[in-house]
Structure formats: structure tokens, C-alpha cells
Structure 1
Amino acid sequence: MDNLDFQEKSFDVIWSEGAIYNIGFEKGLLEWKKYLKDNGYIVVSEISWLTDNRPKEIEEYWANAYPEIDTIDTKLSIIEKCGYDLISHSVLPESCWMDHYYRPMLLRTNHFLKKYKYEEKAKEFIKMGMDEIEIYEKYKEYYSYVFYIAKKV
């Protein structure tokens, strides 16, 4: 994601849903900016804190899973610092997590385990997903994915 083979200024819009974390929020905004035409838009979803204060358990979980998680205000500052004008941002509702991500994932669990012959790595992968669901259900008021829409200045 940080070595893309596109011409500079070739896109009107770059849309990265749940993937900018692979190279980091700020790095992605900076790296991808060159691919946007003047006045082009970037649309990214990024895991973000919804509150300034959180229980230690959820802080530690995300510090290990994705240390770049931060508050919406900090993400907005990064967007501006990287040379974009914020157009809008919105928090994804719980239904996006549960109905469109976690429940479909749960429905495929048995098929996945069977496909990989119940190997330890497959079981570990499923356990990580189950742990993530449990954490989300327990702490969903503290974090979510947020869509950020910005225009290249």
C-alpha cells in the first residue's frame, strides 16, 4: 500500500475502507495524496476513540492491536496537517459492526475450521476473532470505525 504503481494525479477519489491501518493513517494520507487530482477526495475509515477516557482493558487491547488508534479530534488534526480540508466525518453505527461484519464472520467459522482441518493456527485465528467480538460488545461505546472524507487542498 505504500508502493502503488499509479501515475500521480490520476484519481478523483481514493476510497480505503478499513485498510489504511496497514501503513498507518498519517502515512497513508501523505503517500496517497500524490495520486489525487487537484481538488480530489480521499475517503477512509479508521478505528478511532469516541471518548477521551476509557477503561484500562480496552486501552491495552487497542495499544496491542493498533497503536495508532486515537481520538476523532486527533485524526481530524492529522487530516488537516497532511494538506486536506475536512468535508465530513461520521461514526459507523453498531449495525455495521454486528450485522455486516461480526455476524457474517461467525456464520463462516465452522466452514473455515473444517476447510483448514481444525489446525491450531486456524483455531487461533478464530479465537482472535471471538475475542475481538467480545471486546467490541463490552466496550463499543468507547471506539468505532469513523469515516473521514477530505478534499486535497
Structure 2
Amino acid sequence: MNKLELLADLHRDTERQGPGGQAETRLALQLAGLCERRDLDIADLGCGTGASTLVLAEALDARIVAVDFLEPFLDTLKARALEAGVAERITPRHASMEALNFAAESLDAIWSEGAIYNLGFARGVREWRRFLKPGGILAVSELTWLTEQRPAELDAYWRDQYPEVDTASAKLAVLEHHGYAPLGYFVLPPHCWRENYYRPLQERFPAFLKAHRNSPAARAIVEEQQQEIELYERYGEYFGYGFFIARKCGER
């Protein structure tokens, strides 16, 4: 297996492939004003195994296209949607974020928890805008600095992993620059990282290493994940996931 296949295998049986929580998804829905609306068309981009997709399907009167470029994740999503009784509301779509084929102005909302980094924040909000109807909603969670200053070790690590990491004020300015009116912003609390993401992931490490015969490639992936977890435990007050909710406005 290559690195991408190994990562998919590590994460495919976990509920989440990044920090988040059901309560936080529902809070974002309230800030977006979607709960009172009917007959919605929504795309969940980078849906993974469907943690946010299932909440959207349960909370909204909506048709949801759940997009991910890893088929094993979509297979897990399909099974979970059937078990939750919402499969008829969800259309899984195997596709890359770089090759989306939604019609122009066809979506009431675009949702993407912890996945816009695959394109980059600025590119994502710019390119996805054309798919939204006038007044459509963009809701994304994104790696965000929580302070202006932070330890050099942490700064170097995340700038290497994701050069677009920045403060919330800078992210909001990007949204405004690309024709969105911000509606809300909040920071995911620590349990979204520890209990909801990191702990279940760590529990997978022994079985993952055994399944791959403790290969150097598998060990390297576990070591990378452990490094990130250790950095969060030491420096979590300096960074997190910001949840940004905005409305498409005007013409560009």
C-alpha cells in the first residue's frame, strides 16, 4: 500500500477523520439558518465516513450529495446511513474536490468539516462560490491560530503541514474578499479533538500496525499521528479548528 491507502485504512473504521462533534455541527446549522428551511440541496465536501453528513440528513429537509475521493470512506458512509435510516437523503459521490461538476448556482449550502485544506482555504472559498445559489451558505471548519503569537516549534510544524494556517481574522477577511458575508464563527472545544478524534484514532494504532505487519510505512504514519497528538496536548491553547459560516452575497 502507498501512504494514501494506508491512511485510508487507518481511518476508514473511525467515526471521524478530523476534529468535530455532533453538537458543533448542529450549532453551525443554527448559525447558518438552515434548520427552518425546506427542500434544500446541499453538498458535503470531503465527507469522510459521514460524521457530519448524517447530522445534516437527520436535522434538515434536504438532498445531500456526500463527496469524497476515497471510496472506502464512502462505503462506510453508506452502511452508516442505512443503519441511521437516512440513506434516501444522501447520494454518495466518488470525486475529487478538484473535479466537482455541480451546476452553477445549484446548491443552497456547501458543507466541509476539516477538508477544505485539501484545496487550500482561499482556493476553496473562491472556486466553490459559483456552485452556490444567491444567498447560499458556506460552512467550513479550518485549522486556525487562536493567538497572534505562538511557540516556534508549533509554528514551524503547522506551517510545514499547511502553509495557509492563519488567524480567524485573516480567514474572515478571505471570505469577505471573495464575496461572502460572515454569519458566524466559533472554535471547536478540546473534546472535539481529544475524545472525538484523537482517542479513537489511538485505539486503532495496535490493530493497524498488526494488520500491516509493523511495516516501516505503517509505523511512520502512526509516528506522524502521534507527533500531532503530542503537539496538541502541549500547545492546544494556541491553535484549533475554527468553524466559519458565511453567506454568498452580491455579484462578482
Aligning the two structures, in what range does the TM-score lie when normalised by the shorter sequence? Answer: over 0.9
Structure-2 separation of matches of 1:23 and 1:88: 22
Quote the residue 2:174 is aligned against: 78
Quote the residue 1:109 is aligned against: 205
Of 190, 212, 228, 1:94 maps to: 190
Quote the residue 1:125 is aligned against: 221
Pairing of 1:1-153 with structure 2 (within 5 A): 1-153=97-249
Which moved further from structure 2: 69-78 or 107-116? Answer: 107-116
Report runs of 4+ in structure 1 exceeding 3 Å deviation.
none
Instruction: For residues 30-83 of structure 1, give each alpha carbon's deviation from its aligned partner in whole angstroms, at most 9, with x where no partner exists.
Output: 100011111100000000000001111111011111110001100010010010
Q: Which runs of 5+ in 1 are unaligned?
A: none
TM-score of the superposed pair, with normalisation by structure 1: 0.98
Structure-2 separation of matches of 1:140 and 1:50: 9
What is the Cα deviation at residue 2 of structure 1? 2.3
Structure-2 separation of matches of 1:50 and 1:143: 5
Q: Which amino acid aligns with 1:111?
A: A
Structure-2 separation of matches of 1:22 and 1:123: 24
Instruction: For residues 73-119 of structure 1, give each alpha carbon's deviation from its aligned partner in whole angstroms, at most 9, with x where no partner exists.
Output: 00010010010000000000000000110000001111111111111
Structure-2 separation of matches of 1:100 and 1:146: 16
Structure-1 separation of matches of 2:98 and 2:107: 16
TM-score of the superposed pair, with normalisation by structure 2: 0.60
Structure-1 separation of matches of 2:232 and 2:158: 11
Structure-1 separation of matches of 2:189 and 2:208: 27
Structure-1 separation of matches of 2:225 and 2:144: 19
Structure-1 separation of matches of 2:101 and 2:170: 30
Q: Which amino acid aligns with 1:83?
A: G
Structure-1 separation of matches of 2:113 and 2:105: 21
Q: Which amino acid aligns with 1:52?
A: E
Structure-2 separation of matches of 1:11 and 1:22: 21
Structure-1 separation of matches of 2:205 and 2:234: 21
| Contact 1:2-1:28 at 8 Å conserved across structures | no
Structure-1 separation of matches of 2:134 and 2:209: 47
Report the 3-state secondary structure (helix = DSSP H, G, I; strand = E; otherwise coil) of the residue aligned with 2:214. Answer: coil
Structure-1 separation of matches of 2:208 and 2:178: 40
Structure-2 separation of matches of 1:53 and 1:151: 30
| Contact 1:44-1:148 at 8 Å conserved across structures | yes
Structure-2 separation of matches of 1:114 and 1:82: 47
Q: Which runs of 5+ in 2 are unaligned?
A: 1-96
Structure-2 separation of matches of 1:51 and 1:105: 27
The aligned length equals 153
| Contact 1:54-1:142 at 8 Å conserved across structures | yes
RMSD of aligned residue pairs (Cα, Å):
0.6
